[in-house]
Amino acid sequence: MSTIDTMRDILHNPERLVADWKAQGKKIVGYRCIYVPEEIIWAAGMWPYPIFGTPEAITQADSYFQPCTCEFIRNIFDHALDGKLNFLDGLVLCNTCDAVRHLYDMWITYIKVPDCHIINNPQKMYDESGYKYYCVELKRFKSEMENLSGNGISDESLQSAINLHNQTRGLLKELYSLRKKDPPLISGGEALDIVMASMLMPKDKCNQQLQQLIAEVKTRESPKTRGPRILITGSIIDDPTLIQLVEEVGGVVVADDLCTTTKYFWQEVGQNKDPLDALSRYNTERCLCSCMHPPERRFDYLWELIEEFGANGVIYFNLKYCHPFLYEAALFREKLAAKDVPTLMLEVDHSLSGLGQLRTRIQAFIEML
Amino acid sequence: MVTGATAPGKKSLQTTLEISRAVKAYYGGVQAAKQEGKPIVWSYGLIPREIFHAVGAPVIYLEHLPLLMSTKQLSGRYCQIAEEEGFSRDVCAFHRCFIGCAAEEEKHPYLAKFWAPPDLIVASNLPCMSESKSFLYAANHFNCPYFFIDAPINIWGKEIPDYAVEYYAGQLGEALDFLGGYGYRLDWAKLKEAVALSRRLVYLWREIDEYRKAIPAPMGIVDGLTCAFPLIQLPGTKLGVELYERLRDEIKERVENKIGVLEEEKLRLLWIGVPPFYNMGLLNYPEQYGAIVVKSFVEYLAGGAFDPAIMDPEKPLESLATKALVDIVNPTYQNMIDFAVQTAKDFSVDGQIALVKRSCGLIPGVLRLVKDAVYQADGIPTTIFDLDGMDLREYDDAATKANIDSFIETLLDSKRRG
């Protein structure tokens, strides 16, 4: 099995890894989203486990959430109601969008086990008062994780966790540099799977796999086909189908500005005598999700990716009822148009219904490029 | 889908008419300020309004303008304009309507009565994503300075910790500095006075609420919604206090004389969610069954549901920060759920009508929680159905009335059977 297949296998079938971890008497803490500092969970001796959606249809959750609530969140809640997340010893959410805030209320009322925690992070980034507030909030969170794990978190163990996670970030960035080639050495669909698998895996195991993978990819022959270079931005994508669709109709997805891809790893936690302080600084000065402010920073980061990866066009993906991205869509379309970047706006539900129609729209966009 | 006619709601109180006149005068004042060359501020109804009143800044609040457009059935038109500007039909109809108002090149005569373009924008994320995002369009469209206040969500309940209060209060101070940069200098004495007036306003509001719990209900939901204007837009002003003193006196008199909206109340209902502002007559519709909607929960969404004792005029910024963060509309929602349970009990309601505004990221998410909590506490049932109170194009009169009919008939039948 190639390394990428191994990683995909873990992503889609994590049960064995979960069982091995639990057999050591260690805890697993689910989290959603990238603003949860997984280093703190790791430093407490627990496995920070990102919660993704699945393509399965929602059944029970619709009697709790209204259908106009983000389908991704309903999907997660459905799994929880089904007992599919019972292996978790805790769940950590953070202050992002309305739907995540509602998930917290629903969870503590109807799910109860595992325990749900929420980090009350600021939404005003690159702001000194937000950073100071967040320092206090992270101390509270650290204490909660110490209680949950039964382990103290020393500065040394936290620094070690930061170093480990920074190594993952560095390796993913190195892998992504191979997408700058024309044509790139890995496809967009592969990149999504690799990053999601990296998010999921315990980082010590993950880093070994990534080192092997990078070595393997470097030996790949350059693909023969070329096409317009596409960057995908927008709401969460946790299934490669849409990206594969772009590639099937002749586009080459060279970069992605998503919380399941570059937003996860693009910057590293800086060095600081106080590792908790370093995490506070990192999480208030990193790539922005559309829940955060100021949006200009998000655009600057998007523009950096467009230039660095030589994208010819942008697909702005809106998950249905994902309000933060929907609000910024019009603004970003205007900003991209001002820079002569062709943009396709898509509003799609999490189950990706209407793929045929999507294919036609994407194909027309690629042909136009 | 619009089926059936829309109709204005019936009002019973003299003070309601006075408050309606105050609304017109408020916007007249903003327009006069614009003509005098004063910078106009656009903001939201959940940012502590006292800071604007304290510095004398004329403000247009995003939530109120769409409401006024909706009462004249213009909201669908403005939502449509926003959609043509690239906004999804899935984002909040209030905000789409507001964006549509901003984008319209030649203002409709009715909008022109209230309209003043912004010179400054003060935005926030309390209580929802829409609040934090839709003004980005306006800032871009009008090329005006934008200040953002980040509100931590309330994960603490009724006791907000110092570090969160300090964070929010610090930003209010920065917002005041921002306003000061455009000529609105802060006088601390005026800010303290505004906080004292705001506290007085909330005490009056609570006193009025006590009278409103009487049976028969001395005032209904249509009066209640109009009378929420001072609470939403005038906290920190003498006018707000004066209007509520008059309202309190009028209500008190009606209660003492046992004057109700209905002669015989068979059912008392609570309305949760955005009422159909384009068809306020619907709020009187249950009256044909002898059912009165005694209260709309929307009235509480602008700051009436907290203990005013938390406000100390000597600590104005901290008081305003605490007031904002403890507001029941600030997620997470245990405070709102507790308050809903208490309200249903205090107003002796027989049932609750809860609406899902499809484009809202806030209220629909809490409805199931409220329904279950109220039922578990007091056995009071809730019906939940779709109704977008802002976007007239989404309204289905026949289906809405059918939902109300069946709920009321069930409640009446249940009451008959004891």
Span of A14-28, A230-244, A305-319, B352-366 with lowest mean pLDDT: B352-366
Mean pLDDT of chain A: 95
Phi first, then psi: give them for residue A171, nearest 5 degrees. Answer: -65, -40
* CB B205, CB B244: distance < 8 Å: yes
ipTM of the complex: 0.95
Nearest to B225 by CA among B152, B188, B275: B275
- Asked if B333's CB is within 8 angstroms of A118's CB, the reply is no
Give B113→chain A minimum CA distance, Å: 28
Q: Which candidate in A64, A65, A66, A320 is best for mutational testing of the B interface (most B CBs within 10 A)?
A: A66
Mean pLDDT along residues B213-232: 95
Mean pLDDT along residues B172-196: 98
- Asked if A323's CB is within 8 angstroms of B331's CB, the reply is no
Chain B residues with beta carbon closer than 8 angstroms to that of A118? 153, 155, 332
- Asked if B369's CB is within 8 angstroms of A105's CB, the reply is yes
In three-state secondary structure terms, B91 is coil
Phi first, then psi: give them for residue B41, nearest 5 degrees. Answer: -105, 140
Span of A192-201, B42-51, B128-137 with lowest mean pLDDT: B128-137
Residue B168: pLDDT band (50, 70, 90) is very high
- Asked if B134's CB is within 8 angstroms of A129's CB, the reply is no
Mean pLDDT along residues B198-202: 98
* CB A8, CB A193: distance < 8 Å: yes
Residue A88: pLDDT band (50, 70, 90) is very high
Please report where in the chains the tokens 């969140």 appear, as a residue: A73
A43/A21 Cα distance (integer angstroms): 15
Q: What is the pLDDT of residue B77?
A: 96
Each residue of A134-143: pLDDT tens digit? 999 999 999 9
What sign does the dihedral B325-B330-B331-B337 (CA atoms) show?
Answer: positive
Mean pLDDT along residues A167-183: 97
Mean pLDDT along residues B46-75: 95
- Asked if A295's CB is within 8 angstroms of B152's CB, the reply is no
Chain A residues with beta carbon closer than 8 angstroms to that of B366? 102, 105
Which residues of chain B from 161 to 180 reach within 8 Å of chain A, CB to CB? 163-164, 166-167, 170-171, 174
Chain B residues with beta carbon closer than 8 angstroms to that of A343? none
In three-state secondary structure terms, B219 is coil
Q: What is the pLDDT of residue B4?
A: 55
Residue B1: pLDDT band (50, 70, 90) is very low
Q: What is the pLDDT of residue B11?
A: 87
Measure CB to CB from residue B153 to each of A64, A95, A109 and give the nearest one. Answer: A95
Measure CB to CB from residue B332 to each of A101, A328, A334 and give the nearest one. Answer: A101
Reply yes or no: is the peptide bond before residue B152 cis, omega within 30 of 0: no
Kindly state the helix (H) or strand (E) to which residue A158 belongs, with its residue range: helix A155-177
Please report where in the chains the tokens 């010819």 appear, as a residue: A312
Chain A residues with beta carbon closer than 8 angstroms to that of B365? 65-66, 69, 98-99, 101-102, 105-106
Measure CB to CB from residue A99 to each of B88, B153, B361 and give the nearest one. Answer: B361
| Higher per-residue confidence, A353 vs A13 | A13
Which residues of chain B from 37 to 56 reach within 8 Å of chain A, CB to CB? none
Measure CB to CB from residue A101 to each of B90, B92, B153 and give the nearest one. Answer: B153
Residue of A nearest to B169 (CA): A129
Size of interface A-B (CB pairs under 8 A): 139
Statement: residue B60 has pLDDT above 90: yes
Encoded tokens for A180: 């700058």
Span of A296-300, B129-133, B316-320, B327-331 with lowest mean pLDDT: B129-133
Strand partners of residue A313: A230
Each residue of A183-203: pLDDT tens digit? 999 999 999 999 999 999 999
A212/A210 Cα distance (integer angstroms): 5
Give B201→chain A minimum CA distance, Å: 30
In three-state secondary structure terms, B359 is coil
- Asked if A63's CB is within 8 angstroms of B368's CB, the reply is yes
